[in-house]
Amino acid sequence: MTEQNVLLEDMCTRPGMDRDGNMVEVQATKYLICLSDGLRYGLDAEQVVEIITDHTITPLPCVPEYVRGVINLRGQIIPVIDLRLRLGKMPQEDCCIMVVNVENESISILVDGVEKMVDIPKGAILPVPTQQSNQKLVSGMCSLPGGGTMLILDCDMLLHG
Amino acid sequence: MGSGNDSILDMYLYETNTLLEQLDGILLAAEQADTFSQDSVNEIFRIMHTIKGSSAMMEFNNIMTVAHRIEDLFFIIREKTIDVVPEQLRPELFDMIFQAVDFFRGEIEKVENGEPLSDSIDSIVDKINSLIDKIQGNGGPEAAGPAKPAAAAESAESAAAPAAAAPAPDPADAAYPFGVHVLFDEGSGMENLRAFMLLNGLRDYAGDFISFPENVETDASTSEYIAEQGFMVWFKTREERDHAIPGVKSAGSVRSYEMVDAQAPAVSAPEPAAVTPEPAAVQPAPAAPAPAAQAAPAAKPAAKTQHAKESLISVNLSKLDQLMAVVSEIVITESMVTSSPDLKGLRLDNFTKSARDLRKLTDDLQDVSMSLRMVPVSSTFQKMNRIVRDMSKKLNRPAKLVLIGEDTEVDKTIVDGISDPIMHIVRNSMDHGLEENQADRIAAGKDPVGEIILSARHTGSEVIIEIKDDGRGADTQAILNKAIRQGLASPDMDYSQKEILNFMMMPGFSTNTEVTEYSGRGVGLDVVKKNVAEVGGTVSLTSEFGKGMTTTLKIPLTMAIMDGMEVSVGESLFTIPINSILSSIKVTADQIVYDPARGEMMKIRDNYYPVIRAKDIFQMPNGRDNVEEGIMIWVEAGERSYCLFVDELLGEQQIVVKPLPSYVNSFNVKSYGITGCSILGDGSISIILDMANLYNAAHGSY
């Protein structure tokens, strides 16, 4: 089983400049951007453990459709949640799996692809104006420095919702 | 110098709890016989002495004081035999000791929970003291009681003399005949380290000296000795010794010191008032512990031999868990090696032979490591003795507890998990089961003494624990009425007796919310049911009105590694526990018969058994539909027996049970029979089935 492992750093602060040109510490959080059905979702990089591209999912009976099954990650059994199905979209073939650690539990999310890491300062995250039950999984949104919008994925809600 | 680091505290708690349980056992037996045998008196004395000593070291002074008083009491009884306690005082004696044990338990629990210990031990100490006085009234004053200081001082002196003489007033090395006998402040604690500090301080004054005990820096057990007998420092010459006195004086916590010359019959002038070497008893008159001190050297070696007799070792559970985890991985890896695809098709005779040997060894390793966690249920069962005794006294309902199958061994986590439920059920039987007065029992033709039978036995894959009382039994009508009143049952429906009894286990049903001094934790059989479910078991009730009630706990033995049969359904792999399988059967279409609801059945030998299709119940996309293309697995689970239809039988495998991730469990897959998964040799995942739950899911309960 070949896997492409990407291990990620954690939260950092970066020096920035304030209006007077002095160096100031700006609290920023690193997010990992992934793609699902044309939308960009961001996960707190601290929670992401690994990204797997070559995987075998063992289906489980008696679970909701969006729980595709489980995978064997070096002896650990980890459930796989298809983000598309979870958000009510159509499933797709080509995808990769992000393993995340939420509250000491490991789960994994099936996404279309993974893009990159960004630093988002705390103040830049805005609440989502439209509130539907699905979107409780999204806890905020922000503009990306290179253009585009990112929805912050709330992994806790994914686990419990 | 508080309570030391965690492992010392853990050991103290473990040791003290074990001793208290032993004590309970001795006391219960003694109460039955209404007397203490000399052996049990000695045993109790030793236990109190140990608890006293270790509590002193941990600076739990109230525990130490009470233990000390009881030790004194039992010293008297030991010297004068139990006859010193007249018949009419015996119940008081028993009650008082049981009370003390409860006190110890309570304090230990406070320690475990990090709560402050109680200061108010006066009432208990007074009780003990008054009992001692009453006995003294019988025995005569020379029994070194606390009462007469004069007589006591005299005996203290004579006791102190041999006491001081006995343990090494003579230096280990005769070249050091001039000594200082140092006594530290009472209750200062950690006497060994204080002695060590004193020695350090002395180096400023004198270079050459030896001490007794020697290894104070490293050996904490010297504390007790020093606390009772004092600490000796020996010098070569009188001048050196005298020169060092200021060093002794300025050392911390020194209560008194005296100069002692070797070869003189030990004690030059033990000031009796000051020098009664005693382990820091605070309130009671200092004279009383003198006999204790004398007894101490005798008791200490005795305590030591007791420890030597037990060839047991207490192991941290987490280490056992680690061991189990490694053994599990070995089993997986071993099968990965022996069934490696690299070896496919090769004929390797020597390899195959070695692989067989390896397999046998890993089997043995697995068996032994599993057995490490198994403990007999007797520890839990014995606790019930105390409960029955206390409740039967309190409710004035004589009852006896019969234990069957105490030696049955069960995984430790299970024993821990069922302790509370069993306690609750026993209490229920005493409280609500047994008739209120003996007259009722006699009228019903029963023995006036109620009987509760607690039994445990194995059935291969489960352990079955039964609590049976011969009391009133359940009044199903009354229960049904109450259930209807509480909205748990509907007045128009008919319920079977089993269903009615089940109402008792529903939340909100509890009969009386009586919180006794023994429990405050959760009331109601629903909590019992929950706790038993947490260790994977089930609770069922049966009863006959007027005859009694039986509560049955069925708990599957946790098998981290188990033998399973691999089967396939479509592209999925499932594992069926070998223990559940009776046989596998190939069928033809005409062997399947139908019931009016088109449910399938087949006949095996003389009975019909329901057929469950795995593909259907799990709603799987792929899988064989034609019965002639698949295979029937005839299984038995609990009371159910049925046939599971699957595609193929792949073979027997030893598998490691991996629990399902809790996220998956949150979808209640367990109730469908999906109880875990395992990783096979080639890395693929197989789903482990629980045949009982599977049946229930297919057919509903009952």
Write a three-state SS string for B423-462.
HHHHHHHHHHHCCCCHHHHHHCCCCCCEEEEEEEEECCCE
Q: How much is the pLDDT for A69?
A: 93
Collect all residues from A whose CB is shorter than 8 A from any CB in B: 1, 56, 58-64, 67, 70-72, 75, 77-79, 105-107, 159
Report domain extents, chain B.
6-140, 159-307, 317-372, 375-556, 561-699
Comparing CA positions, the residue from B54, B58, B65 lying closest to residue B2 is B58
Q: What is the mean pLDDT of residues A143-154?
A: 88
> For residue A126, is it within any domain?
yes
**A64:B667 CB<8 A:** yes
Going B64 to B67 to B73 to B77, the CA torsion angle's sign is negative
In chain A, the number of structural domains is 1
Q: How much is the pLDDT for B558?
A: 61
Collect all residues from B whose CB is shorter than 8 A from any CB in A: 329, 332, 571-572, 618-620, 658, 660-664, 667, 669, 672, 674, 677, 679, 683-685, 687
Buried b (16+ CB within 10 A) or exposed e, B543-563: beeeebbbbbbbbbbbbbbbe
Q: How much is the pLDDT for A158?
A: 84
Torsion angle (degrees, nearest 10) of CA B471, B477, B483, B485? -120
Q: How much is the pLDDT for B142?
A: 39
Q: How much is the pLDDT for B269?
A: 39
Q: What is the mean pLDDT of residues A136-156?
A: 87
Chain A interface test: which of B327, B566, B685, B688 (most A C-beta within 10 Å): B685
Instruction: State the nearest Cα–Cα gap between A73 and chain B, in angstroms.
Output: 9
Q: How much is the pLDDT for B141?
A: 41
Q: How much is the pLDDT for A41?
A: 93
Instruction: State the nearest Cα–Cα gap between B530 and chain A, in angstroms.
Output: 22
Torsion angle (degrees, nearest 10) of CA B413, B417, B420, B424? -140
Phi and psi torsions of B515, nearest 5°: -95, 105
Query: Confidence class of residue B143 from pLDDT cuts 50, 70 and 90?
Result: very low
Query: Confidence class of residue B146 from pLDDT cuts 50, 70 and 90?
Result: very low
Q: What is the mean pLDDT of residues B560-584?
A: 89
Residue A126: exposed, middle, or buried by beta-carbon count in 10 A (0-12, 13-18, 19+)?
Answer: exposed
> For residue A2, is it within any domain?
no
- Rounded CA separation A74/B337 (Å): 16
Candidate from B63-67, B228-232, B547-551, B671-675 with smallest mean pLDDT? B228-232
Query: Confidence class of residue B292 from pLDDT cuts 50, 70 and 90?
Result: very low
Nearest CA in chain A to B677: A77
**Is it the case that residue B261 has pLDDT exceeding 90?**
no
The two three-digit tokens of residue A115, written as one number: 């893009």
pLDDT tens-digit readout, B360-383: 898 888 888 878 888 888 888 888
Q: What is the mean pLDDT of residues A113-141?
A: 82
pLDDT tens-digit readout, B576-605: 988 889 999 999 999 999 988 888 999 999
Query: Confidence class of residue B271 from pLDDT cuts 50, 70 and 90?
Result: very low
Instruction: State the nearest Cα–Cα gap between B9 and chain A, in angstroms.
Output: 29
Candidate from A154-158, B40-44, B297-301, B539-543 with smallest mean pLDDT? B297-301
Instruction: State the nearest Cα–Cα gap between A104 and chain B, in angstroms.
Output: 11
> For residue A3, is it within any domain?
no
Tell which CATH architecture fits domain B317-372.
Answer: Orthogonal Bundle (1.10)
Q: How much is the pLDDT for B150?
A: 38
Residue A159 has its nearest CB partner, among B329, B619, B663, at: B663
Residues of A whose CB is below 8 A from B667: 62-64, 67
- Rounded CA separation A41/A122 (Å): 16
Tell which CATH architecture fits domain B375-556.
Answer: 2-Layer Sandwich (3.30)
Q: How much is the pLDDT for A108?
A: 94
Instruction: State the nearest Cα–Cα gap between B661 and chain A, in angstroms.
Output: 7
Question: Across chain B, what does the average pLDDT equal?
Answer: 78
Question: Which pairs from B456-461 meet CB under 8 Å and 24+ separation?
Answer: B456/B377, B456/B381, B456/B404, B456/B405, B456/B406, B456/B408, B456/B410, B457/B405, B457/B408, B458/B408, B458/B557, B460/B579, B461/B556, B461/B557, B461/B577, B461/B579, B461/B580
> For residue A22, is it within any domain?
yes
H/E stretch holding B106? helix B90-112
Q: What is the mean pLDDT of residues B199-208?
A: 78
Q: What is the mean pLDDT of residues B535-556?
A: 86
**A61:B664 CB<8 A:** no
User: In this structure, what DSSP letter does residue B306 have?
Assistant: H
> For residue A122, is it within any domain?
yes
3-state secondary structure of A48: strand
Q: Are B641 and B632 in contact (CB under 8 A)?
A: no
**Is it the case that residue A98 has pLDDT exceeding 90?**
yes
Q: A-B interface: how many C-beta pairs under 8 angstroms?
A: 62
Q: How much is the pLDDT for B163?
A: 37
Q: What is the mean pLDDT of residues B140-164?
A: 39
Q: How much is the pLDDT for B552?
A: 92
Q: Which residue has the higher pLDDT, B203 or B541?
A: B541
Pairing of strands B450-458, A12-17: unpaired
- Rounded CA separation B551/B571 (Å): 43
Residues of B whose CB is below 8 A from A68: none
**Is it the case that residue B40 has pLDDT exceeding 80?**
yes
**Is it the case that residue B12 has pLDDT exceeding 80?**
yes
Nearest CA in chain B to A67: B664
High-pLDDT (> 70) share of chain B, %:
83
Query: Confidence class of residue B169 from pLDDT cuts 50, 70 and 90?
Result: low
Tell me the CATH number for domain B561-699. 2.40.50.180
- Is the ipTM beyond the 0.85 threshold? no
**Is it the case that residue B161 has pLDDT exceeding 50?**
no
pLDDT tens-digit readout, B56-69: 888 888 888 888 88
User: Class assignment of domain B6-140?
Assistant: mainly alpha
Q: How much is the pLDDT for B550?
A: 93
Residues of B whose CB is below 8 A from A159: 663
pLDDT tens-digit readout, B317-335: 888 888 888 888 888 788 7
Q: How much is the pLDDT for A25?
A: 66
**Is it the case that residue B340 has pLDDT exceeding 80?**
no
The topology (CATH level 3) of B159-307 is: Alpha-Beta Plaits (3.30.70)
pLDDT tens-digit readout, B81-134: 777 777 778 888 888 888 888 888 888 888 888 888 877 778 888 888 888 888
Q: What distances in angstroms separate CA B82 from CA B34, B280, B288, B296, one per listed residue?
A: 10, 28, 19, 20
3-state secondary structure of B255: strand
Q: How much is the pLDDT for A68?
A: 92
Around Cβ B361, how many Cβ atoms within 10 Å? Answer: 12
> For residue A77, is it within any domain?
yes
Asked, as a colleague might, if the bond just before B213 is cis with ω within 30 of 0, I would say yes
Comparing CA positions, the residue from A95, A44, A41, A43 lying closest to residue A68 is A95
What is the span of the domain harbouring residue A90? Answer: 12-160
**Is it the case that residue B525 has pLDDT exceeding 50?**
yes
Beta bridge partners of B539: B553
Candidate from B232-241, B492-501, B551-560, B590-599 with smallest mean pLDDT? B551-560
Residue A107 has its nearest CB partner, among B332, B572, B663, at: B663
Q: How much is the pLDDT for A21?
A: 63
Comparing CA positions, the residue from B467, B479, B472 lying closest to residue B437 is B472
**Is it the case that residue B278 has pLDDT exceeding 50?**
no
Query: Confidence class of residue A3 from pLDDT cuts 50, 70 and 90?
Result: very low
Chain B interface test: which of A57, A76, A77, A156 (most B C-beta within 10 Å): A77
Query: Confidence class of residue B210 from pLDDT cuts 50, 70 and 90?
Result: confident
Query: Confidence class of residue B42 from pLDDT cuts 50, 70 and 90?
Result: confident
Residue B685 has its nearest CB partner, among A62, A70, A159, at: A70
- Rounded CA separation B125/B69 (Å): 7
Q: How much is the pLDDT for B679?
A: 83
Annotate B458-469 with DSSP letters as a single string: E-SSEEEEEEEE
Buried b (16+ CB within 10 A) or exposed e, B620-652: beebbeebeebbbbbbbbbebbbbbbbbebbee
**B619:A61 CB<8 A:** yes
Candidate from B1-15, B43-57, B179-193 with smallest mean pLDDT? B1-15
Q: Which residue has the higher pLDDT, B460 or B142?
A: B460
> For residue A58, is it within any domain?
yes
Chain A interface test: which of B336, B663, B665 (most A C-beta within 10 Å): B663
CATH number at residue A52: 2.40.50.180
**B677:A77 CB<8 A:** yes
Comparing CA positions, the residue from B544, B542, B511, B514 lying closest to residue B525 is B511
User: In this structure, what DSSP letter does residue B658 have?
Assistant: B
High-pLDDT (> 90) share of chain B, %:
12
Residues of A whose CB is below 8 A from B669: 60-63
**A70:B677 CB<8 A:** yes
Comparing CA positions, the residue from B434, B468, B661 lying closest to residue A60 is B661
pLDDT tens-digit readout, B464-497: 899 999 988 888 888 888 888 877 788 888 888 8
